[in-house]
């Protein structure tokens, strides 16, 4: 009697995802990262040759802001501004960019982070 009564009075139930969950699942692990768009001055490492337009990454490593080409360090940003540090903190410590200008006489490299400008 108990099973018959439960089957007759039970509400039908089907498992399904709600539409909101299905829409949110596409970027579930993608963080909300809004990088700052800036041009920064970096000091290249000795013996490193950089070219204009070359893609780089700016990374926050132990309170230092370093410039990387692929996996090798090519420079360091000596005095990053607070908004760059804040953007690095919200973007998991990595910002994409490219080399804008190389000044060999001043031993400096102009690095642009954020959206790439049309040249």
Domains in the chain, ordered, with CATH? 36-119 (3.30.70)
**CA-CA distances (angstroms) from residue 86 to 33, 34, 89, 97?**
11, 10, 5, 16
3-state secondary structure of 66: strand
Nearest to 89 by CA among 33, 46, 48: 33
Residue 15: pLDDT band by 50, 70, 90 thresholds? confident
% helix, strand, coil for the chain, step of 5: 20, 35, 45
C-alpha span between 61 and 82 (Å, rounded): 15
Is the pLDDT at 117 greater than 60? The verdict is: no
- Whole-prediction pTM: 0.70
Q: Tell me the CA end-to-end span of the chain in Å, nearest whole number.
A: 80
For residue range 77-113, list pLDDT tens digits in order: 999 999 899 999 888 899 999 999 999 999 999 999 9
Helix (H, G, I), strand (E, B) or coil at 93: coil
Secondary structure of residue 12 in the 3-state scheme: coil
Calpha distance 53→71 (Å, rounded): 18
């Amino acid at each position: 009697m108990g099973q018959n009564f439960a089957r007759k009075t039970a509400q039908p139930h089907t498992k399904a995802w709600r539409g909101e969950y299905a829409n949110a699942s596409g970027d579930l692990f993608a963080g909300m990262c809004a990088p700052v768009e800036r041009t920064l001055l970096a000091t290249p490492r000795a013996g490193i040759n950089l070219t204009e337009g070359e893609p780089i990454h700016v990374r926050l490593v132990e309170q230092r802001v370093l410039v990387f080409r692929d996996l090798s360090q090519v420079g360091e940003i000596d005095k990053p501004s607070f908004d760059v540090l804040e953007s690095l903190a919200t973007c998991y410590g990595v910002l994409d960019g490219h080399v804008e200008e190389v000044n060999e006489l001043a031993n400096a490299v102009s690095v642009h982070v954020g959206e790439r400008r049309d040249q």
